């Protein structure tokens, strides 16, 4: 029984370690390139594919519960159409189509740059499926670049939900993206999502690493944090005291936890008491 408990604890610890394995204090973020895609509400699935039709899974996506469906649709605008646009599941409350600006030119539409889900007043688009057609009066957007992460990752990366950050990519054609939105949720896996135009600009492929560029004050904060860690490390926290007498006042004045003295130094009784009170060690060498 005991072995089982230990095994469970080890598993839990390993899971925690894996959760944060991609997070380093330098702010490196794996990038995923989102191709044009469609999110559908169930009513539209049934108009496009037939009554009671349900989307079928092709493969899971990195974000929990999200999947690429086997089903695709044609999308059409006033100037042109694009075939075989992938549907992503599961179904959502409102249908939405995300394209790159290059796609939008093909369609002859000028969609707004939006966060996924924010489609009020966005562009119209027509969806054509094997069983029917749906015209959306609004729902076509160019997706705002964003980074998904869980709360622990946000803490380690010194960012918070809704914040905009700058991300630098040191690729063959290096770019820095501004106004990348941070999105924090327990369900999220650390990953930055950009569209194909952004990816092409920076010669970015699936899994390329980007780095959050921190403003100077954040870097300064971090350096201070690091120096605090060093101070609290007892191994490096020694002062070498070489005077003939170590008094209570001297012990109080010394910041370090270990006061190293030599055999010739005289230590007063009050100095010893004070050291004990303040959790300092007087070490004779």
What is the widest separation between alpha-carbon atoms in the chain?
96
Question: Which residue in 192, 138, 141, 140 sits closest to 169, CA to CA?
Answer: 192
Nearer to Zn ion, 191 or 250 (CB): 191
Task: Give the count of beta carbons closer than 10 Å to the beta carbon of residue 28.
Answer: 15
Nearer to Zn ion, 136 or 190 (CB): 190
Least Cβ distance, residue 139 to Zn ion (angstroms): 17
Q: Which residue is nearest to Zn ion (CB)?
A: 193
Nearer to Zn ion, 107 or 143 (CB): 143
Strand, coil or helix: what is 129? Answer: coil
Least Cβ distance, residue 29 to Zn ion (angstroms): 12
Least Cβ distance, residue 148 to Zn ion (angstroms): 6
Nearer to Zn ion, 193 or 280 (CB): 193
Residue 90: asked if its preceding bond is cis (omega within 30°), the reply is yes
Nearer to Zn ion, 32 or 169 (CB): 32
DSSP 167-227: EEE-SSS-EEEEEEEEEE-TT--SEEEEEHHHHHHTT--TT-EEEEEPPHHHHHHHHHHHH
Least Cβ distance, residue 32 to Zn ion (angstroms): 8
What span, in angstroms and rounded, lies between the C-alpha atoms of 60 and 69?
Answer: 9
CA distances from 118 to 43, 98, 113, 259 (A): 20, 11, 10, 61
Nearer to Zn ion, 44 or 193 (CB): 193
**Tokens coding 59:** 């493969």
Burial of 223 from C-beta contacts in 10 A (0-12 / 13-18 / 19+): exposed
What span, in angstroms and rounded, lies between the C-alpha atoms of 128 and 28?
Answer: 40
Least Cβ distance, residue 17 to Zn ion (angstroms): 25
Least Cβ distance, residue 61 to Zn ion (angstroms): 9
DSSP 17-61: HHHTTT--TT-EEEEEEEPSEEE--HHHHHHHH-TT----EEEE-
Nearer to Zn ion, 104 or 149 (CB): 149
Least Cβ distance, residue 47 to Zn ion (angstroms): 26
Tell me which residues touch Zn ion (CB under 5 A). Answer: 193
């Amino acid at each position: 029984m005991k072995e089982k408990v230990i095994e469970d604890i080890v598993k839990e610890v390993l899971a925690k370690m894996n959760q944060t394995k991609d997070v380093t204090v330098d702010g490196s973020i794996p990038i995923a390139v989102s191709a044009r895609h469609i999110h559908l509400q169930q009513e539209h699935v049934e108009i496009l594919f037939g009554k009671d039709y349900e989307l079928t899974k092709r493969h899971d996506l990195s974000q929990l519960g999200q999947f690429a469906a086997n089903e695709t649709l044609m999308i059409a605008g006033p100037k042109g159409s694009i075939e075989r646009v992938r549907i992503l599941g599961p179904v959502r409350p409102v249908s939405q189509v995300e394209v790159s600006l290059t796609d939008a030119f093909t369609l002859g539409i000028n969609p707004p740059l939006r966060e996924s889900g924010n489609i009020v007043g966005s562009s119209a688009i027509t969806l054509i499926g094997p069983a029917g057609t749906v015209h959306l009066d609004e729902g076509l957007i160019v997706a705002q670049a964003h980074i998904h992460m869980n709360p622990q990752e946000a803490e380690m990366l010194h960012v918070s939900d809704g914040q905009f950050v700058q991300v630098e990519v040191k690729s063959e054609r290096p770019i820095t993206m501004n106004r990348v939105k941070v999105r924090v949720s327990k369900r999220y896996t650390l990953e930055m999502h950009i569209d194909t135009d952004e990816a092409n600009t920076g010669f970015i492929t699936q899994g390329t690493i980007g780095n959050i560029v921190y403003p100077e004050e954040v870097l300064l904060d971090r350096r201070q944090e690091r120096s605090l860690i060093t101070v609290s490390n007892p191994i490096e926290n020694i002062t070498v005291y070489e005077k003939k007498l170590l008094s209570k006042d001297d012990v109080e004045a010394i910041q370090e936890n270990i006061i190293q003295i030599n055999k010739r130094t005289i230590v007063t009784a009050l100095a010893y008491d004070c050291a004990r009170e303040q959790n300092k060690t007087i070490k004779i060498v």
